[in-house]
Amino acid sequence: MGFPAEYKKDLLQKGPADFQAAALALFQYQASHNPVYQAYLKYLKKEVSQIKELHQIPFLPIEFFKTHTVQSHPFTPQVIFKSSGTTLQQRSQHLVENPDFYKQHAQALFEETYGPLKGNVVLALLPSYFEQGDSSLVMMVDHFIQATGQTEPGFYLRNHAELLQALNLAKAAGQKVYLFGVTYALLDLAEEQGNQEFSGVTIFETGGMKGRRREMVRQELHQILTAAFGVETIHSEYGMTELLSQAYSTGEGIFQPSRTLRVLVRDVNDPFSISSESGSGGVNVIDLANVDSCAFIETKDLGKLYSDGSFKIMGRFDNSDIRGCNLLVV
């Protein structure tokens, strides 16, 4: 069993005991086995053996997932995740060797925060992702639906009445209900079925206006949704095509790092000035689950990092693509 398989096996079984050590080991591997990342490091004239701390690691600009095949070893992908976007936009592609690893890993991260899926109900309002296809979010939520063992359908495009019926049946049966929704679809639901009693339902907004509504800051969005649905907080999921790990916010838009995902911030004027300390700037993500691609991603998100490792997404850099994962700009 080679390095990638062993590494993924360890992630699924127990996760890294030492995040930095696990990240540096993966960096050393990808620096010598990922042709795209290797060429990027060479262009930057980086001496790989001198990298000893997380903030010293060069992060691959996320645009490379649009223009290059990012693989850390040769394999035939079983699935290719693609970013959302218009027909005129070039979509990012993330080649995945084993989708079962992605599904099991995503479930483990979710259950660490929210408890077992089995016996509960997952519902989804993700019409644009579902219709466009090739979405990592749709695959993840579909796996969650299967993991619950629920008999009712999980995905609802625009049939809000049927979704509410399924939701009320689950509540009446005493089951926990998790509702995942793209931002504009949740707003549509709030307007069409406003003042419905959603108490006890955990609602996740996954970002994304898809050009269908005006942009708004997350605080304003959550105020609208909490008032419409009668819940105390709106939860959020932070993920993207280029990542196989997720982070969750249980309120206030503050995401907790997971066992395989950490955020660092970079100076907005100097992308190579990276800090693992608290502060604001461009968001760099270390995703240990990206064993087969690249675990060190320089995103187009702007964020704030707190001293405990939690983080908040504040918006996106100007002129970056409008994407489904985050359109909330301050």
Q: Looking at 196, 223, 249, which one is the last position of a domain?
A: 249
Q: What is the pLDDT of residues 187-222, one digit of tens each?
A: 999 988 766 678 889 999 998 765 555 667 778 889
Three-state SS at 147: helix
Q: What is the pLDDT of residues 268-320, one digit of tens each?
A: 999 999 999 999 999 999 999 999 999 999 999 999 999 999 999 998 886 55
pLDDT for position 212: 59
Q: Looking at 192, 221, 249, which one is the last position of a domain?
A: 249
**Mean pLDDT in the chain?**
91
Lowest mean pLDDT among 155-164, 299-308, 317-326: 317-326
* Domain shared by 108 and 229, yes or no: yes
| Separation of alpha carbons 199 and 232, rounded Å | 8
Rounded to whole angstroms, what are the CA distances from 175 to 122, 127, 311? Answer: 10, 24, 31
* Domain shared by 219 and 117, yes or no: yes
* Domain shared by 35 and 157, yes or no: no
Number of structural domains in the chain: 2
* Domain shared by 135 and 245, yes or no: yes
Q: Considering the domain boundaries, does residue 85 fall inside one? A: no
* Domain shared by 269 and 221, yes or no: no
Q: Considering the domain boundaries, does residue 80 fall inside one? A: no
Token couple for 16: 């890294």
Q: Considering the domain boundaries, does residue 71 fall inside one? A: no
* Domain shared by 129 and 31, yes or no: no
Q: Considering the domain boundaries, does residue 177 fall inside one? A: yes
* Domain shared by 43 and 134, yes or no: no
Q: Do β-strands 177-181 and 121-125 pair in parallel, antiparallel, or remain unpaired?
A: parallel
pLDDT for position 329: 34
**Domain range holding 131?**
100-249
pLDDT for position 210: 56
Phi, psi of 222 (to 5 degrees): -65, -35
* Domain shared by 41 and 149, yes or no: no
Q: Looking at 228, 249, 270, which one is the last position of a domain?
A: 249
